[in-house]
Chain A
Amino acid sequence: MLGIFLTLLGAGVVLDGNWTWRGGALMVAGAVLLALEWRLP
C-alpha cells in the first residue's frame, strides 16, 4: 500500500508541479517499496 501511494505521489509532483527530479525520486522509492511489499509473504 505504501509503495503504491508513494509512487503516485511522485507522479503527481511531476505531472502537476513539473518538478521532474523530486517526483522521479519519489516514484523510484515507491516502486522499490512496492516491489518489496509484493515479494514479502
Chain B
Amino acid sequence: MCHPWLAAGVAGFLGVVVTREVVPVLRREERDAPLAQGLLGTGLRTWFRGRLDPLVDALLAAGIRADWVTAVQFGISGLCGVAYARGWLFTAGWLLLTGGTLDVLDGAMARKCGAASARGAFVDSVVDRYGECVVFLGLAVHLRDGWALWAVLAAAFGAFMVSYTRARGEGLGVACAIGLLQRPERYVIIGGGSLIGSLAAHLTCAPAAAYGLLVGGVLAVAVLANVTALQRAAAIVRQLA
C-alpha cells in the first residue's frame, strides 16, 4: 500500500529541515575544504556535534552513562538490520541515521564527563563493527536475489577495510584518519538512500524506485569505501617508507 500524500508531507518536512539547518552550514563552509577529511566536510560535522551538545548535557544530567548509549546504539543497529531484512526501508534508514547519531553521542558524553578511556574507545570500536555487520547482513538478506548482493558484500568489505587500515596503521604508530568515505558518510549515503528511496516509492506508487535508490547508495559505498581504504593504505605506506 502506498501513501503518496504522507510521503509528500515527509519530503516537505525534510526539505524544511535541510533548508533551515544544513544549507546555512554549507554556505559557511570553505569552498576549498580538503575532501580527504570526508565528503561531509568539517563544517557539517561541527554543526552536528553542536546540535547534539544540549542532548549530551541533558543525558549526563540525568545520570546516563556513555556505555549505556553505546549499548542502545548496538540494539538500534540490530533493529536496523531486521528492518532491512523485512524490507522496511524508511524505518531502516531512520534507524541507521539514529544509530549513527548515538555513535557520535556516546563519544561526546565520555569526553565531556572526563570518562574517555582506552577501554571505552576499544569497546566502542568493537560495538561499531558488530553494529555495521548486522546492518550489512540485513541489507544482504533484503537484496539476496539479485546482483546487488555483490554490491552489499563489496560495501561491507570496504567499510571494514577502512577501519582495519586505520587500526593497523595506529598499531604501527602511524595515525591516519583521512579518507573520502568515513563512517558518518556511510550512514548518510545508505540511510539517506533508504529514506529518499522509500519516499520516492510511496510518491510514485512504484516500489522499484526504493530499490534503485537503495542499490545506488550501496554501490556508491562499495566503490568509495574501498577507495578510502586504499587512500589510507597509501598514506600509511608513505609515512612508513
**B77 interface residue (CB < 8 Å to A):** no
Residues from chain A with a CB closer than 8 A to the CB of B83 are 16
**A4 interface residue (CB < 8 Å to B):** yes
B contact residues, total (Cβ < 8 Å): 23
Find out whether the CB atom of B10 lies under 8 angstroms from the CB atom of A8.
Answer: yes
Chain A 5-41 interface residues, beta-carbon cutoff 8 Å to B: 5, 7-9, 11-18, 38
Contacts A5-B98, A11-B6, A11-B10; A16 near B90 (Cβ below 8 A): yes
A contact residues, total (Cβ < 8 Å): 16
**Per DSSP, are chain A's interface residues mostly helix, strand or loop, or mixed?**
helix
Residues from chain A with a CB closer than 8 A to the CB of B195 are 8
Residues from chain A with a CB closer than 8 A to the CB of B202 are 15
Query: How many angstroms from the CA of A12 to the CA of B95 in the assembled complex?
Result: 10
Kindly report which residue of chain B lies nearest to residue A11, judged by CB atoms.
Answer: B10
Kindly report which residue of chain A lies nearest to residue B98, judged by CB atoms.
Answer: A5
Find out whether the CB atom of A16 lies under 8 angstroms from the CB atom of B91.
Answer: yes
Interface residues of A (CB under 8 A from B): 1-2, 4-5, 7-9, 11-18, 38
